Amino acid sequence: MANLVFCYNNFRQFSRLINRQFFSFSKNTESQCLKRFTPTTTIIHLQSKRNLFSDEVLGVDRFVQLRQQISQRFGQQKQVFFDRLAEHIADEKNAILSEDLKNLLFLCENSDNHIDLLRRTIDKFEKQNESLRFGLFQFGPIVMRLARHLNNVDMAMWIFNPKYKNFFTQISSVTIAMDILLENGHYQDVIKLFDYATTKFDFDVKYPIDFVVLYFAACYKLNTVESFESAFRVLRSIQMSNDHQIKLRGLYCFIALAIKQNHPNIALEIIQNLNSKSMKSMNIIIQSLRLLALSRINRLNDVADIIQFQLNKDKPKKNQIIFNDVMIEIRTVIEKSGKPELIEKINGLIKQLEESNMIEMKRALDDALMSTINFQRQKKFPNQQSTNDADGGDVDTEQQQRPRQQWNR
C-alpha cells in the first residue's frame, strides 16, 4: 500500500521549506563557572513570568514559523491528512515514515483527537524502528517544542514513559520538558525529571547546565528543607566534578533559597567566590541577595557600608541596587536591632537611595529570579558545527550531547 505521506502531491516542497528556514534549540545560555565566573553576552528580560527560557532559546519561535507556513500549504487539506493518517496507522501492516510524523507535528493542534493521534503515531513509529533506525534525525525536541507551544503539560510528562526511553534522550528535549513543567508550577515534577534524566540518560556531563538552572529554580519555588538539601547536594557535586559549570541564574535561585532556608552564610560564601570582575559589576539581583544575607547574620554595619559605597559612586545616573521588597525586609531587621544610632544611619542612607531612584519599586526579587532568559541570535558561529537538523529535530551526534557550546550571548 502506498504510504499516506504521498497523498499530498507536493510534500517534498515542505521538506525543502523546512530545510531552508528552521534552526532550532541551542543548549548554552549565560554559561558560568561555579568557582570563577566569566561573563557572557546575555539579554535578560525581567518580566513576571515563570518560564525561564524564551521561545528563541528553545527553538520554539522557528517551530511556530514553520507551523504557520506548512499549515498554509496544506490549507483545507489538513483534515483530510488527519483522517487518512488515522486510517493508515490503524492497519498494523502499514509503516509510518518520518515524513508522516513530521507533518503531523507541524499540523497538530491542542485537541484530544489530535494529541491522541500523535501519541499513537509515535508509538507505531517507535515500535517499527526499535531495532533499526534510519538516519540521525531526532523527533523528541520537535514533540517538546510542540508541547511548549501548546502549553500541554501531559505531553511533557510523556518523557517519563519507559516506551519512549530512546525517543526523548536529547538534552534539548529534557530542557524543554522541564521548562514546561516549571512554567505550570509542577516544581516537584521538574525535580523528578532532573533526577530521571541525569540517571537514565547518557550525557557527556552528569549535570547538563540548563538542567541545573531549571532544577534550582524549581527547588527555590518549593522552598522546603528537602528541596534545599537536594539542591545543596547537587551544587556540591558540580563543584567537586571536573566539569564544574553552572549558570549565574541557577546560582541566584540557589542563593535565594539558601537565605529563605536560614543559611545566609552559605549564600555569602557563594557570592564571595565570584571573581573580582563579577563583584565590581554586581547587578541588582546579586546585590539584593548580598545585602539580604548580610542582614540575616546581623552584619548591619556592612549593609550600611555597601549602601554608602553605592551612593558615593561618581556617576551622573545612579543604578538601582536593591528591590523594594528586599529593602523592606532589611529595614525590619534593622528596626529590631535595638541600636538607635545604626537605625538612624541606615534609615538616612535608605532615604538617599529613594531620592536617587536606586530602589526598584516596580518589581520584586522573585520577579527577577523567575524572569525569562533570552539571547541574541548571531548569523555566524566560528568553529561551531550546528547540532540541529534543519527540519527542527536534533542530530544525534557526540557534539549534540555536549551541553557547552561556543555560543557567545
Residue-by-residue pLDDT tens, the chain, 409 positions: 444 333 433 333 333 433 333 333 333 333 333 344 333 333 333 333 457 899 999 999 999 999 999 999 998 899 999 999 999 999 988 888 889 899 999 999 999 999 999 999 999 998 887 655 555 578 999 999 999 999 999 999 999 999 898 899 999 999 999 999 999 999 999 999 999 999 999 888 889 999 999 999 999 999 999 999 999 999 999 988 876 678 899 999 999 999 999 999 999 999 988 755 555 556 899 999 999 999 999 999 999 999 999 999 877 677 899 999 999 999 999 999 989 999 999 999 999 999 999 999 999 999 999 999 986 444 433 333 333 333 334 333 222 333 332 222 2
pLDDT at 131: 57
Give the cell for residue 197: 534524566
pLDDT at 229: 97
pLDDT at 284: 94
pLDDT at 397: 29
Which stretch of DSSP H or E encloses residue 380? none
DSSP letters spanning 101-158: HHHHHHH--SSHHHHHHHHHHHHHHHHHTSS---SSEE-HHHHHHHHHHHT-HHHHGG
Chain centroid to Cα 342, Å, comes to 42
Q: Report the C-alpha gap between 191 and 212 in whole angstroms.
A: 10
pLDDT at 127: 85
